[in-house]
Structure 1
Amino acid sequence: MVERRPLFDFFCHVILVLGILAIAIPVWVALVATTHENGAFVKETPLWFGELGFSIFTDLLNQSDPSSHSQLPILNMLTNSMIMALCITFGKLSISIMSAYAVVFFRFPGRMLAFWLIFFTLMLPVEVRIMPTFEVITNLNMLNSFSGLTIPLIASATATFLFRQFFLTVPNELVEAARIDGAGPIKFFFDILLPLSRTNIAALFVITFIYGWNQYLWPMLITTDIEHQTIVMGIKQMLGVEDGLIEWNRIMATTIIAMLPPVFVVIAMQKAFVKGLVDSEK
């Protein structure tokens, strides 16, 4: 019998409401800011919609205001961010699941050494690896290219570790049964292991997509051509104006637009995402 604790339930709901407010209020302020002129931010931050409505979104997407100090190809930057995020996501998942499959189900010399070498890369922060990686990309003439944006960020020790831990829970009887039925390594991987891993794949898909979408430091280093810049870089460029006129309404509108793809991915995959993180059978 589950004990009912009203005071504890009330406390949990209070914490939940406070967490929702902490996340929702900044988004609300940003949404409201898109409906006001820049002069509205001089004295105070408005908390209700202004006279502009949501016309600023149309101006941004259609680029109908050539005199703007914050004029940037928003649609092109969104496309670049989407390509970068999807390439990083599919690349991370593909390499990680195949490397974990090799480590768990194949017996070869140096198998565990290879795994621990992959795992030890978690000990190296991005700041330590970024300059050597930049030099390699430069020597390979991959600056200002999608390959330079994505390939250095594809490898993931974390995803490899998570897939390995899941594969270790696969019963040996299942592997033996597949071998008796004549399933080779490729058939076993695609017909049995991948379907069993779908919740893990969904959870890591959401995490890696958001990771790729929010990248700022690496794209800033290797892209000088505006044709390959991402939406996160565009938001930063809008803040760097020479005459001091920061168009906050356009910046907030761009921020709202940049939030939408990750939000859609989370909403579309939330059930599989949660199951992949808390599934008791893993």
Structure 2
Amino acid sequence: MHVISWGSLAWCAIPVVLIATVYTRWSGKASEVLLSAARMTLQLIGVGYVLVALFENPSPWITGGVLVVMICIASWIALRPVNHQRNYLKPTLIALTCSAGLHLFISLVLVIGVDSWYEPRVIIPLAGMYFANTMNAISLATERYHSELQEGKPEPKARLTAFQAAMIPQINSLLAVGLVSLPGMMTGQILSGVSPLIAVRYQIMIMTMVLGSGGCGAALMLWQLGRADRSGRQRDNGPADADLVENDL
């Protein structure tokens, strides 16, 4: 495997500068892309040093703590499209934890068969992919659900539309993989010298788990929001109209 030096890595600033130039020429905020790229670089370097320490001293408590931090950050980011509404935070935490946790269990125990669930070298990269994709699915579903309700759509219709919107990236990635793109994990394994046939098996696991985790996370989030919305309408309408509200199910 070719090792990229820090000096060679500096050439990666070229695409960042190009996009920043477009922002500037079109009277946009070039600082947005520059700050994002700088933050990304610092975050990854910091994470790299943390992972080195974790890999050398695996601990269930430390690994569990890292996973909790990842879940909290992902849940908070997922609510960005709806202005971080506080009443959405608890359902997001539940949806993300349950969905990604289930698929991590399937991957680690049933598919890979690891001896220790807390092995950082295995669980943290998988958790990162599952949390990130589930976060995006929940974010898309929540934003669309919120918008549909504001437009006066009935809750069942808003829920279906939101779920379909959340699944578009998931379905597109399944259709494009292998034909349009080689996913990052598979590419990384191939570059590190792993047989493409072995890399394919891991990638199939990742793609199916990401599909399930994202879909289940979005569905669980929408179910919770719908339940809260129906409960709110029942309180507003009173006992006399409770039967009409139940018909919306």
Q: Which has the higher helix share?
A: 2
**Please, what TM-score do these two structures have when normalized by structure 1?**
0.21
Larger RCO (CA within 8 A; separation ≥ 6): 1
Which has the greater radius of gyration?
A: 1
**Please, what TM-score do these two structures have when normalized by structure 2?**
0.23
